[in-house]
A and B are shown apart, each in its own frame.
Chain A
Protein backbone atom coordinates (compact mmCIF):
# COMPACT_ATOMS: atom_id res chain seq x y z
CA UNK A 1 0.00 0.00 0.00
CA UNK A 2 1.42 3.30 -1.00
CA UNK A 3 0.60 6.03 1.47
CA UNK A 4 1.98 9.00 -0.39
CA UNK A 5 2.00 9.33 -4.13
CA UNK A 6 4.90 11.25 -5.54
CA UNK A 7 4.12 14.24 -7.73
CA UNK A 8 5.23 13.95 -11.31
CA UNK A 9 7.92 16.51 -11.94
CA UNK A 10 11.28 17.14 -13.52
CA UNK A 11 13.63 14.20 -14.12
CA UNK A 12 15.70 15.01 -11.06
CA UNK A 13 13.48 16.10 -8.21
CA UNK A 14 14.21 16.82 -4.58
CA UNK A 15 13.85 13.19 -3.52
CA UNK A 16 16.42 12.16 -6.08
CA UNK A 17 18.79 14.85 -4.91
CA UNK A 18 18.41 13.63 -1.34
CA UNK A 19 19.18 10.08 -2.47
CA UNK A 20 22.31 11.21 -4.27
CA UNK A 21 23.36 13.14 -1.19
CA UNK A 22 23.24 9.88 0.77
CA UNK A 23 25.21 8.18 -1.98
CA UNK A 24 27.75 10.97 -2.38
CA UNK A 25 30.66 9.56 -0.31
CA UNK A 26 30.43 6.17 -2.03
CA UNK A 27 29.99 7.73 -5.49
CA UNK A 28 33.05 9.92 -5.00
CA UNK A 29 34.97 6.90 -3.78
CA UNK A 30 33.92 4.67 -6.65
CA UNK A 31 34.82 7.32 -9.23
CA UNK A 32 38.14 8.49 -7.80
CA UNK A 33 39.54 5.52 -5.91
CA UNK A 34 38.24 2.62 -8.00
CA UNK A 35 37.04 3.57 -11.50
CA UNK A 36 39.80 6.08 -12.21
CA UNK A 37 42.62 3.73 -11.08
CA UNK A 38 40.93 0.94 -13.01
CA UNK A 39 41.06 2.95 -16.25
CA UNK A 40 44.56 4.32 -15.69
CA UNK A 41 45.72 0.82 -14.90
CA UNK A 42 44.80 -0.24 -18.42
CA UNK A 43 46.44 2.83 -19.97
CA UNK A 44 49.57 2.21 -17.92
CA UNK A 45 49.69 -1.38 -19.10
CA UNK A 46 50.20 0.00 -22.62
CA UNK A 47 53.09 2.17 -21.50
CA UNK A 48 56.68 1.61 -20.63
CA UNK A 49 57.10 3.45 -17.35
CA UNK A 50 60.05 3.91 -15.11
CA UNK A 51 60.99 6.56 -12.60
CA UNK A 52 61.94 9.09 -15.26
CA UNK A 53 59.87 8.61 -18.37
CA UNK A 54 56.68 7.25 -19.83
CA UNK A 55 56.21 6.12 -23.37
CA UNK A 56 53.39 4.45 -25.22
CA UNK A 57 54.33 0.98 -26.39
CA UNK A 58 51.00 -0.61 -27.30
CA UNK A 59 50.77 -4.26 -26.44
CA UNK A 60 54.53 -4.69 -25.96
CA UNK A 61 54.17 -5.36 -22.22
CA UNK A 62 51.70 -8.15 -22.90
CA UNK A 63 53.95 -9.59 -25.59
CA UNK A 64 56.91 -9.47 -23.23
CA UNK A 65 54.90 -11.47 -20.70
CA UNK A 66 54.76 -14.44 -23.04
CA UNK A 67 58.52 -14.83 -22.99
CA UNK A 68 58.97 -13.89 -19.32
CA UNK A 69 59.86 -17.16 -17.64
CA UNK A 70 59.35 -15.75 -14.17
CA UNK A 71 55.84 -14.69 -15.13
CA UNK A 72 55.02 -18.16 -16.47
CA UNK A 73 56.38 -19.66 -13.27
CA UNK A 74 54.44 -17.16 -11.18
CA UNK A 75 51.20 -17.96 -12.99
CA UNK A 76 51.83 -21.68 -12.56
CA UNK A 77 52.57 -21.58 -8.83
CA UNK A 78 49.64 -19.24 -8.16
CA UNK A 79 47.19 -21.54 -9.91
CA UNK A 80 48.75 -24.58 -8.26
CA UNK A 81 48.38 -22.89 -4.88
CA UNK A 82 44.73 -22.00 -5.48
CA UNK A 83 43.84 -25.43 -6.85
CA UNK A 84 45.40 -27.23 -3.88
CA UNK A 85 44.55 -24.90 -1.01
CA UNK A 86 40.93 -23.97 -1.73
CA UNK A 87 39.42 -27.49 -2.00
CA UNK A 88 41.46 -28.65 1.00
CA UNK A 89 40.35 -25.70 3.08
CA UNK A 90 36.69 -26.14 2.15
CA UNK A 91 36.68 -29.92 2.74
CA UNK A 92 38.19 -29.30 6.13
CA UNK A 93 35.67 -26.59 6.91
CA UNK A 94 32.76 -28.82 5.88
CA UNK A 95 34.06 -31.85 7.76
CA UNK A 96 34.43 -29.93 11.02
CA UNK A 97 31.11 -28.14 10.46
CA UNK A 98 29.42 -31.54 10.20
CA UNK A 99 30.91 -32.50 13.58
CA UNK A 100 29.86 -29.23 15.17
CA UNK A 101 26.33 -28.94 13.82
CA UNK A 102 24.67 -30.91 16.60
CA UNK A 103 24.39 -29.73 20.16
CA UNK A 104 27.33 -31.24 21.96
CA UNK A 105 29.04 -30.20 25.15
CA UNK A 106 31.29 -27.19 24.69
CA UNK A 107 30.21 -26.62 21.10
CA UNK A 108 30.57 -22.86 21.44
CA UNK A 109 34.11 -23.23 22.70
CA UNK A 110 35.08 -25.42 19.74
CA UNK A 111 33.50 -23.05 17.26
CA UNK A 112 35.24 -20.01 18.70
CA UNK A 113 38.59 -21.71 19.06
CA UNK A 114 38.51 -23.01 15.50
CA UNK A 115 37.31 -19.70 14.10
CA UNK A 116 40.19 -17.78 15.66
CA UNK A 117 42.93 -18.73 13.14
CA UNK A 118 40.91 -17.25 10.28
CA UNK A 119 40.94 -13.89 12.04
CA UNK A 120 44.64 -13.69 12.80
CA UNK A 121 45.94 -15.79 9.90
CA UNK A 122 46.97 -12.98 7.58
CA UNK A 123 48.85 -10.99 10.24
CA UNK A 124 52.59 -10.49 10.27
CA UNK A 125 52.70 -12.09 13.73
CA UNK A 126 51.33 -15.38 12.42
CA UNK A 127 53.66 -15.24 9.42
CA UNK A 128 56.59 -14.79 11.79
CA UNK A 129 55.33 -17.71 13.85
CA UNK A 130 54.96 -19.93 10.77
CA UNK A 131 58.51 -19.09 9.73
CA UNK A 132 59.69 -20.57 13.01
CA UNK A 133 57.30 -23.52 13.10
CA UNK A 134 58.60 -24.81 9.77
CA UNK A 135 62.17 -23.63 10.17
CA UNK A 136 65.11 -26.04 10.47
CA UNK A 137 64.72 -26.36 14.25
CA UNK A 138 61.07 -25.48 14.52
CA UNK A 139 58.20 -27.30 16.13
CA UNK A 140 57.43 -29.49 13.12
CA UNK A 141 60.93 -30.94 13.08
CA UNK A 142 60.78 -31.38 16.87
CA UNK A 143 57.74 -33.57 16.46
CA UNK A 144 59.29 -35.48 13.56
CA UNK A 145 62.39 -35.93 15.70
CA UNK A 146 60.34 -37.93 18.19
CA UNK A 147 59.77 -40.45 15.40
CA UNK A 148 63.43 -40.38 14.49
CA UNK A 149 63.00 -38.36 11.32
CA UNK A 150 65.61 -35.68 10.76
CA UNK A 151 63.80 -32.81 9.03
CA UNK A 152 65.38 -29.87 7.23
CA UNK A 153 63.96 -26.41 6.69
CA UNK A 154 60.60 -26.85 5.03
CA UNK A 155 60.72 -23.25 3.85
CA UNK A 156 64.09 -23.39 2.10
CA UNK A 157 63.20 -26.59 0.26
CA UNK A 158 61.70 -25.86 -3.21
CA UNK A 159 59.64 -29.04 -3.01
CA UNK A 160 57.88 -28.18 0.25
CA UNK A 161 57.83 -24.35 0.49
CA UNK A 162 54.50 -24.02 -1.31
CA UNK A 163 52.90 -26.56 1.02
CA UNK A 164 54.03 -24.62 4.09
CA UNK A 165 51.84 -21.79 2.76
CA UNK A 166 49.03 -24.19 1.81
CA UNK A 167 48.92 -25.46 5.40
CA UNK A 168 48.81 -21.89 6.69
CA UNK A 169 45.83 -21.12 4.47
CA UNK A 170 44.03 -24.37 5.29
CA UNK A 171 44.58 -23.63 8.99
CA UNK A 172 42.30 -20.61 8.49
CA UNK A 173 39.25 -22.72 7.63
CA UNK A 174 37.16 -21.16 10.44
CA UNK A 175 35.30 -18.49 8.50
CA UNK A 176 34.19 -20.97 5.83
CA UNK A 177 33.21 -23.38 8.61
CA UNK A 178 30.91 -20.78 10.16
CA UNK A 179 29.23 -20.13 6.82
CA UNK A 180 28.75 -23.88 6.33
CA UNK A 181 27.32 -24.19 9.84
CA UNK A 182 24.65 -21.59 9.19
CA UNK A 183 23.84 -23.39 5.92
CA UNK A 184 23.59 -26.77 7.63
CA UNK A 185 21.17 -25.35 10.18
CA UNK A 186 18.81 -24.31 7.40
CA UNK A 187 18.41 -27.84 6.01
CA UNK A 188 14.97 -29.03 7.16
CA UNK A 189 15.12 -31.99 9.56
CA UNK A 190 12.18 -33.53 7.69
CA UNK A 191 14.47 -34.28 4.73
CA UNK A 192 16.76 -36.36 6.92
CA UNK A 193 13.79 -38.12 8.46
CA UNK A 194 12.41 -38.93 5.02
CA UNK A 195 15.81 -40.27 3.95
CA UNK A 196 15.97 -42.43 7.08
CA UNK A 197 12.53 -43.86 6.42
CA UNK A 198 13.68 -44.71 2.89
CA UNK A 199 16.50 -46.68 4.46
CA UNK A 200 19.40 -44.31 3.84
CA UNK A 201 22.40 -44.63 6.12
CA UNK A 202 24.46 -41.68 7.43
CA UNK A 203 26.79 -41.63 4.44
CA UNK A 204 23.97 -41.83 1.92
CA UNK A 205 22.04 -39.05 3.60
CA UNK A 206 25.21 -36.92 3.51
CA UNK A 207 25.57 -37.39 -0.24
CA UNK A 208 21.89 -37.26 -1.16
CA UNK A 209 20.56 -34.71 1.33
CA UNK A 210 23.32 -32.63 2.88
CA UNK A 211 25.49 -31.99 -0.17
CA UNK A 212 22.73 -31.00 -2.61
CA UNK A 213 21.01 -28.81 -0.02
CA UNK A 214 24.31 -27.18 0.86
CA UNK A 215 25.52 -26.75 -2.72
CA UNK A 216 24.60 -23.04 -3.06
CA UNK A 217 26.65 -22.33 0.07
CA UNK A 218 29.51 -24.46 -1.27
CA UNK A 219 29.46 -22.39 -4.46
CA UNK A 220 29.49 -19.16 -2.44
CA UNK A 221 32.43 -20.30 -0.31
CA UNK A 222 34.27 -21.66 -3.34
CA UNK A 223 34.10 -18.37 -5.25
CA UNK A 224 34.92 -16.28 -2.19
CA UNK A 225 37.94 -18.40 -1.26
CA UNK A 226 39.20 -18.68 -4.84
CA UNK A 227 39.25 -14.91 -5.31
CA UNK A 228 40.90 -14.49 -1.92
CA UNK A 229 43.45 -17.19 -2.57
CA UNK A 230 44.57 -15.59 -5.85
CA UNK A 231 45.44 -12.46 -3.89
CA UNK A 232 47.71 -14.04 -1.28
CA UNK A 233 50.56 -11.70 -0.47
CA UNK A 234 51.63 -11.19 3.15
CA UNK A 235 52.37 -14.84 3.89
CA UNK A 236 54.51 -15.34 0.79
CA UNK A 237 56.23 -11.99 1.24
CA UNK A 238 57.29 -12.68 4.82
CA UNK A 239 57.66 -16.44 5.12
CA UNK A 240 59.16 -17.53 1.80
CA UNK A 241 59.87 -14.15 0.12
CA UNK A 242 58.69 -15.74 -3.13
CA UNK A 243 61.44 -18.33 -3.02
CA UNK A 244 63.06 -20.77 -3.08
CA UNK A 245 63.72 -20.49 -6.82
CA UNK A 246 60.39 -18.69 -7.36
CA UNK A 247 58.39 -21.65 -6.07
CA UNK A 248 56.10 -19.32 -4.13
CA UNK A 249 56.30 -16.25 -6.35
CA UNK A 250 52.56 -15.58 -6.33
CA UNK A 251 51.17 -13.15 -8.88
CA UNK A 252 50.56 -10.33 -6.40
CA UNK A 253 54.09 -10.71 -5.09
CA UNK A 254 55.46 -10.54 -8.62
CA UNK A 255 53.35 -7.45 -9.34
CA UNK A 256 54.66 -5.88 -6.13
CA UNK A 257 58.28 -6.66 -7.05
CA UNK A 258 57.94 -5.35 -10.58
CA UNK A 259 56.12 -2.17 -9.58
CA UNK A 260 57.86 -1.16 -6.39
CA UNK A 261 61.28 -2.79 -6.49
CA UNK A 262 62.03 -2.66 -10.21
CA UNK A 263 59.85 0.46 -10.79
CA UNK A 264 58.36 -1.08 -13.93
CA UNK A 265 54.88 0.29 -13.35
CA UNK A 266 53.68 -0.36 -16.91
CA UNK A 267 54.75 -3.97 -16.88
CA UNK A 268 53.25 -4.43 -13.41
CA UNK A 269 49.95 -3.00 -14.69
CA UNK A 270 49.92 -5.50 -17.54
CA UNK A 271 50.52 -8.22 -14.94
CA UNK A 272 47.58 -6.91 -12.92
CA UNK A 273 45.30 -7.18 -15.93
CA UNK A 274 46.43 -10.72 -16.56
CA UNK A 275 45.71 -11.55 -12.91
CA UNK A 276 42.25 -10.01 -13.24
CA UNK A 277 41.56 -12.08 -16.36
CA UNK A 278 42.78 -15.27 -14.77
CA UNK A 279 40.52 -14.68 -11.76
CA UNK A 280 37.60 -13.87 -14.06
CA UNK A 281 38.15 -17.01 -16.13
CA UNK A 282 38.49 -19.28 -13.11
CA UNK A 283 35.47 -17.86 -11.24
CA UNK A 284 33.56 -17.87 -14.55
CA UNK A 285 34.38 -21.56 -15.01
CA UNK A 286 33.27 -22.35 -11.48
CA UNK A 287 30.06 -20.45 -12.06
CA UNK A 288 29.48 -22.18 -15.39
CA UNK A 289 29.91 -25.65 -13.90
CA UNK A 290 27.58 -24.74 -11.04
CA UNK A 291 24.51 -25.49 -13.12
CA UNK A 292 25.58 -29.13 -13.07
CA UNK A 293 26.08 -29.46 -9.35
CA UNK A 294 24.31 -26.67 -7.53
CA UNK A 295 20.79 -27.49 -6.48
CA UNK A 296 18.35 -24.62 -6.11
CA UNK A 297 15.02 -25.14 -4.47
CA UNK A 298 12.39 -23.58 -6.66
Chain B
Protein backbone atom coordinates (compact mmCIF):
# COMPACT_ATOMS: atom_id res chain seq x y z
CA UNK B 1 0.00 0.00 0.00
CA UNK B 2 1.48 3.33 -0.97
CA UNK B 3 1.31 6.57 0.97
CA UNK B 4 -1.69 7.96 -0.88
CA UNK B 5 -3.79 4.83 -0.43
CA UNK B 6 -2.96 4.81 3.25
CA UNK B 7 -4.09 8.39 3.59
CA UNK B 8 -7.39 7.71 1.88
CA UNK B 9 -7.94 4.67 4.07
CA UNK B 10 -7.24 6.70 7.19
CA UNK B 11 -9.61 9.41 6.04
CA UNK B 12 -12.38 6.94 5.27
CA UNK B 13 -11.94 5.34 8.67
CA UNK B 14 -12.15 8.70 10.42
CA UNK B 15 -15.30 9.70 8.56
CA UNK B 16 -17.06 6.42 9.34
CA UNK B 17 -15.85 6.48 12.95
CA UNK B 18 -16.95 10.09 13.56
CA UNK B 19 -20.36 9.40 12.06
CA UNK B 20 -20.69 6.35 14.29
CA UNK B 21 -19.78 8.41 17.37
CA UNK B 22 -22.24 11.16 16.47
CA UNK B 23 -24.98 8.77 15.42
CA UNK B 24 -26.63 8.54 18.86
CA UNK B 25 -27.10 12.31 18.87
CA UNK B 26 -28.40 12.25 15.28
CA UNK B 27 -30.74 9.41 16.24
CA UNK B 28 -31.96 11.46 19.22
CA UNK B 29 -32.62 14.45 16.97
CA UNK B 30 -34.44 12.45 14.29
CA UNK B 31 -36.40 10.70 17.04
CA UNK B 32 -37.51 14.08 18.33
CA UNK B 33 -39.55 14.65 15.17
CA UNK B 34 -40.94 11.12 14.84
CA UNK B 35 -44.16 9.58 16.00
CA UNK B 36 -43.84 7.17 18.95
CA UNK B 37 -44.16 3.95 16.94
CA UNK B 38 -41.68 5.14 14.33
CA UNK B 39 -38.84 5.71 16.81
CA UNK B 40 -38.71 2.05 17.70
CA UNK B 41 -39.37 0.59 14.26
CA UNK B 42 -36.18 -0.78 12.76
CA UNK B 43 -35.10 0.53 9.39
CA UNK B 44 -36.66 3.99 9.53
CA UNK B 45 -33.80 6.40 9.81
CA UNK B 46 -35.78 9.43 8.70
CA UNK B 47 -39.29 10.21 9.90
CA UNK B 48 -42.06 9.70 7.37
CA UNK B 49 -43.51 12.97 8.56
CA UNK B 50 -41.51 15.60 10.46
CA UNK B 51 -43.54 16.09 13.63
CA UNK B 52 -42.27 19.41 14.92
CA UNK B 53 -45.32 19.43 17.18
CA UNK B 54 -43.36 17.09 19.49
CA UNK B 55 -41.43 20.17 20.61
CA UNK B 56 -44.62 22.01 21.54
CA UNK B 57 -45.97 18.95 23.33
CA UNK B 58 -42.75 18.41 25.24
CA UNK B 59 -42.54 22.07 26.19
CA UNK B 60 -45.88 21.76 28.00
CA UNK B 61 -45.51 18.18 29.17
CA UNK B 62 -45.25 18.92 32.90
CA UNK B 63 -48.67 20.10 34.09
CA UNK B 64 -48.66 23.64 35.45
CA UNK B 65 -45.19 24.48 34.14
CA UNK B 66 -43.39 24.80 30.84
CA UNK B 67 -39.82 23.95 30.00
CA UNK B 68 -39.46 27.73 29.61
CA UNK B 69 -39.58 27.97 33.42
CA UNK B 70 -36.92 25.27 33.76
CA UNK B 71 -34.68 26.95 31.21
CA UNK B 72 -34.94 30.30 33.00
CA UNK B 73 -34.10 28.59 36.32
CA UNK B 74 -31.12 26.79 34.83
CA UNK B 75 -29.83 30.01 33.26
CA UNK B 76 -30.21 31.86 36.56
CA UNK B 77 -28.16 29.26 38.41
CA UNK B 78 -25.49 28.91 35.74
CA UNK B 79 -25.03 32.66 35.31
CA UNK B 80 -24.70 33.17 39.07
CA UNK B 81 -22.16 30.35 39.24
CA UNK B 82 -20.18 31.88 36.35
CA UNK B 83 -20.12 35.32 38.00
CA UNK B 84 -19.23 33.88 41.39
CA UNK B 85 -16.49 31.64 40.04
CA UNK B 86 -14.83 34.35 37.96
CA UNK B 87 -14.98 36.78 40.88
CA UNK B 88 -13.55 34.52 43.55
CA UNK B 89 -11.03 32.50 41.55
CA UNK B 90 -9.34 35.43 39.77
CA UNK B 91 -8.76 37.19 43.12
CA UNK B 92 -7.26 34.08 44.73
CA UNK B 93 -5.20 33.24 41.65
CA UNK B 94 -3.67 36.73 41.63
CA UNK B 95 -2.63 36.35 45.27
CA UNK B 96 -1.04 32.94 44.66
CA UNK B 97 0.71 33.99 41.45
CA UNK B 98 1.99 37.43 42.39
CA UNK B 99 1.81 38.28 46.11
CA UNK B 100 3.87 37.21 49.09
CA UNK B 101 2.15 36.35 52.35
CA UNK B 102 2.64 34.13 55.39
CA UNK B 103 1.60 30.46 54.94
CA UNK B 104 1.63 30.84 51.17
CA UNK B 105 3.19 27.43 50.51
CA UNK B 106 0.93 25.73 52.99
CA UNK B 107 -2.19 27.29 51.49
CA UNK B 108 -1.06 26.38 47.99
CA UNK B 109 -0.68 22.78 49.15
CA UNK B 110 -4.22 22.95 50.54
CA UNK B 111 -5.39 24.21 47.15
CA UNK B 112 -3.70 21.33 45.35
CA UNK B 113 -5.13 18.83 47.83
CA UNK B 114 -8.67 20.06 47.19
CA UNK B 115 -7.99 19.78 43.47
CA UNK B 116 -7.68 16.03 43.97
CA UNK B 117 -10.37 15.72 46.67
CA UNK B 118 -13.41 13.87 45.34
CA UNK B 119 -16.33 16.23 45.89
CA UNK B 120 -18.78 13.37 46.36
CA UNK B 121 -17.12 12.59 49.70
CA UNK B 122 -18.52 15.87 51.04
CA UNK B 123 -22.03 15.13 49.81
CA UNK B 124 -23.56 14.23 53.17
CA UNK B 125 -21.93 16.79 55.50
CA UNK B 126 -22.52 19.59 53.00
CA UNK B 127 -26.18 18.66 52.86
CA UNK B 128 -26.37 18.78 56.65
CA UNK B 129 -24.60 22.17 56.69
CA UNK B 130 -26.80 23.70 54.00
CA UNK B 131 -29.98 22.43 55.57
CA UNK B 132 -28.95 23.99 58.90
CA UNK B 133 -28.38 27.26 57.06
CA UNK B 134 -31.86 26.92 55.56
CA UNK B 135 -30.48 26.74 52.03
CA UNK B 136 -32.32 23.59 50.97
CA UNK B 137 -34.93 24.17 48.29
CA UNK B 138 -33.31 27.45 47.27
CA UNK B 139 -30.57 28.21 44.80
CA UNK B 140 -28.24 29.31 47.60
CA UNK B 141 -26.78 25.85 48.15
CA UNK B 142 -25.89 25.71 44.45
CA UNK B 143 -24.66 29.25 43.88
CA UNK B 144 -23.18 30.69 47.13
CA UNK B 145 -20.26 28.21 47.22
CA UNK B 146 -19.24 29.43 43.75
CA UNK B 147 -18.74 32.94 45.17
CA UNK B 148 -16.32 31.35 47.65
CA UNK B 149 -14.43 29.50 44.87
CA UNK B 150 -15.93 26.14 45.79
CA UNK B 151 -17.48 25.23 42.44
CA UNK B 152 -14.48 23.44 40.86
CA UNK B 153 -12.62 26.41 42.31
CA UNK B 154 -9.33 24.59 42.84
CA UNK B 155 -9.14 23.69 39.15
CA UNK B 156 -10.02 27.22 38.06
CA UNK B 157 -7.51 28.84 40.44
CA UNK B 158 -4.78 26.46 39.30
CA UNK B 159 -5.53 27.24 35.65
CA UNK B 160 -5.46 31.00 36.31
CA UNK B 161 -2.27 30.82 38.40
CA UNK B 162 -0.49 29.02 35.56
CA UNK B 163 -1.67 31.67 33.15
CA UNK B 164 -0.80 34.68 35.33
CA UNK B 165 2.71 33.28 35.86
CA UNK B 166 3.15 33.58 32.10
CA UNK B 167 2.44 37.33 32.10
CA UNK B 168 5.75 39.28 32.19
CA UNK B 169 6.45 40.67 35.65
CA UNK B 170 7.93 43.83 34.12
CA UNK B 171 4.36 44.95 33.51
CA UNK B 172 3.41 44.96 37.19
CA UNK B 173 6.78 46.28 38.31
CA UNK B 174 6.39 49.28 36.04
CA UNK B 175 2.98 49.85 37.56
CA UNK B 176 4.39 49.64 41.09
CA UNK B 177 6.91 52.32 40.18
CA UNK B 178 4.03 54.43 38.93
CA UNK B 179 2.46 54.05 42.35
CA UNK B 180 -0.38 51.70 41.47
CA UNK B 181 -2.07 49.79 44.27
CA UNK B 182 -2.23 45.99 44.13
CA UNK B 183 -5.87 46.21 43.26
CA UNK B 184 -5.18 48.56 40.33
CA UNK B 185 -2.49 46.18 39.07
CA UNK B 186 -4.91 43.27 39.34
CA UNK B 187 -7.70 45.16 37.60
CA UNK B 188 -5.79 47.12 34.96
CA UNK B 189 -2.91 44.81 34.12
CA UNK B 190 -3.56 41.21 35.12
CA UNK B 191 -7.26 40.94 34.30
CA UNK B 192 -6.99 42.30 30.72
CA UNK B 193 -3.97 40.09 30.09
CA UNK B 194 -5.58 36.87 31.19
CA UNK B 195 -8.79 37.11 29.23
CA UNK B 196 -8.36 33.66 27.60
CA UNK B 197 -8.03 32.01 31.01
CA UNK B 198 -10.99 33.92 32.45
CA UNK B 199 -12.96 32.93 29.39
CA UNK B 200 -12.11 29.26 30.07
CA UNK B 201 -13.26 29.55 33.67
CA UNK B 202 -16.55 31.10 32.54
CA UNK B 203 -17.09 28.44 29.86
CA UNK B 204 -16.45 25.49 32.15
CA UNK B 205 -18.41 27.02 35.03
CA UNK B 206 -21.38 27.45 32.69
CA UNK B 207 -21.24 24.04 31.10
CA UNK B 208 -20.57 22.09 34.27
CA UNK B 209 -23.31 23.85 36.19
CA UNK B 210 -25.72 23.38 33.29
CA UNK B 211 -25.08 19.63 33.20
CA UNK B 212 -24.90 19.21 36.96
CA UNK B 213 -27.56 16.86 38.22
CA UNK B 214 -26.66 15.46 41.63
CA UNK B 215 -26.59 18.82 43.44
CA UNK B 216 -29.77 20.00 41.81
CA UNK B 217 -31.44 16.72 42.71
CA UNK B 218 -30.41 17.19 46.33
CA UNK B 219 -31.17 20.83 46.86
CA UNK B 220 -34.23 21.63 44.77
CA UNK B 221 -37.60 20.18 45.72
CA UNK B 222 -40.32 22.40 44.26
CA UNK B 223 -41.18 21.71 40.64
CA UNK B 224 -41.47 25.47 40.18
CA UNK B 225 -37.79 25.80 40.99
CA UNK B 226 -36.74 22.86 38.82
CA UNK B 227 -33.88 23.15 36.36
CA UNK B 228 -33.80 21.65 32.88
CA UNK B 229 -32.00 18.52 34.17
CA UNK B 230 -34.63 17.96 36.86
CA UNK B 231 -37.47 18.73 34.48
CA UNK B 232 -36.12 16.14 32.07
CA UNK B 233 -35.79 13.56 34.83
CA UNK B 234 -39.39 14.18 35.89
CA UNK B 235 -40.49 13.89 32.28
CA UNK B 236 -38.47 10.68 31.84
CA UNK B 237 -40.11 9.09 34.88
CA UNK B 238 -43.54 9.67 33.37
CA UNK B 239 -42.55 9.10 29.79
CA UNK B 240 -43.98 5.62 29.52
CA UNK B 241 -47.36 7.30 29.37
CA UNK B 242 -46.23 10.19 27.20
CA UNK B 243 -44.70 10.37 23.78
CA UNK B 244 -41.01 9.52 23.50
CA UNK B 245 -40.73 11.96 20.62
CA UNK B 246 -41.47 14.92 22.85
CA UNK B 247 -39.08 13.65 25.53
CA UNK B 248 -36.38 13.47 22.87
CA UNK B 249 -37.35 16.96 21.74
CA UNK B 250 -36.76 18.38 25.22
CA UNK B 251 -33.53 16.40 25.51
CA UNK B 252 -32.30 18.02 22.30
CA UNK B 253 -33.31 21.48 23.55
CA UNK B 254 -31.51 20.91 26.85
CA UNK B 255 -28.29 20.25 24.93
CA UNK B 256 -28.59 23.39 22.80
CA UNK B 257 -26.90 25.92 25.17
CA UNK B 258 -23.82 23.77 25.80
CA UNK B 259 -23.50 22.69 22.16
CA UNK B 260 -23.92 26.28 20.91
CA UNK B 261 -21.23 27.56 23.26
CA UNK B 262 -19.00 24.71 22.21
CA UNK B 263 -19.30 25.49 18.51
CA UNK B 264 -18.79 29.23 19.06
CA UNK B 265 -15.61 28.57 21.02
CA UNK B 266 -14.54 25.25 19.53
CA UNK B 267 -10.95 26.18 18.75
CA UNK B 268 -10.62 27.14 22.36
CA UNK B 269 -11.42 23.59 23.40
CA UNK B 270 -9.82 21.44 20.76
CA UNK B 271 -6.53 23.29 20.74
CA UNK B 272 -6.24 22.83 24.47
CA UNK B 273 -6.42 26.56 25.19
CA UNK B 274 -9.32 26.03 27.55
CA UNK B 275 -7.54 23.46 29.68
CA UNK B 276 -4.00 24.77 29.62
CA UNK B 277 -4.42 28.46 28.86
CA UNK B 278 -1.83 28.25 26.11
CA UNK B 279 -2.05 27.26 22.50
CA UNK B 280 -0.33 23.90 22.38
Contacts and interface: CB of A to CB of B under 8 A. Distances in A.
A238 B236 contact: yes
A259 interface: yes
Contacts of B186: 22
Interface string B15-50: 001100111110110010000000110110000000
Nearest to B263: A112
A176 to B, nearest CB: 11
A34 B115 CA distance: 11
Interface residues of A, number: 91
A145 B236 contact: no
A112 B119 contact: no
Contacts, number: 268
Contacts of B23: 139
Contacts of B232: 124-125, 128
Contacts of A113: 18, 21-22
A216 interface: no
B222 interface: no
Interface string A128-147: 11111100011101100110
Interface stretch (B75-83, B192-200, B254-262): B254-262
Interface stretch (A79-87, A155-163, A205-213, A226-234): A226-234
A125 B255 contact: yes
B149 interface: yes
B121 A273 contact: yes
The majority secondary structure among interface residues of chain A is: helix
Contact of A40 (B11, B22, B107, B129): B129
A265 B121 contact: no
Given A29-B148, A108-B270, A133-B24, A23 B120 contact: no
Interface on chain B toward A: helix, strand, loop, or mixed SS?
helix
B189 interface: no
B184 to A, nearest CB: 11
B44 to A, nearest CB: 9
Contact of A114 (B10, B18, B254, B262): B18
B122 A38 contact: yes
A56 interface: no
Contacts of A185: 280
Contacts of B128: 37, 40, 44, 265
Contacts of A104: 7, 10-11, 14
Contact of A255 (B43, B94, B124): B124
Contacts of B137: none
Interface of B: 7, 10-11, 13-14, 17-18, 21-25, 27-28, 31, 39-40, 42-43, 87-89, 91-92, 94-96, 99-102, 107, 110-111, 114, 116-129, 145, 147-150, 153, 157, 173, 176-177, 182-183, 186, 207, 210-211, 213-214, 217-218, 228-229, 232-233, 236, 244, 247-248, 250-252, 254-255, 258-259, 262-263, 266-267, 269-272, 275-276, 280
Q: 3 tightest A-B contacts by CB? A: A29-B148, A182-B280, A125-B251
6 contacts: A19-B101, A22-B95, A33-B148, A130-B24, A178-B269, A179-B272
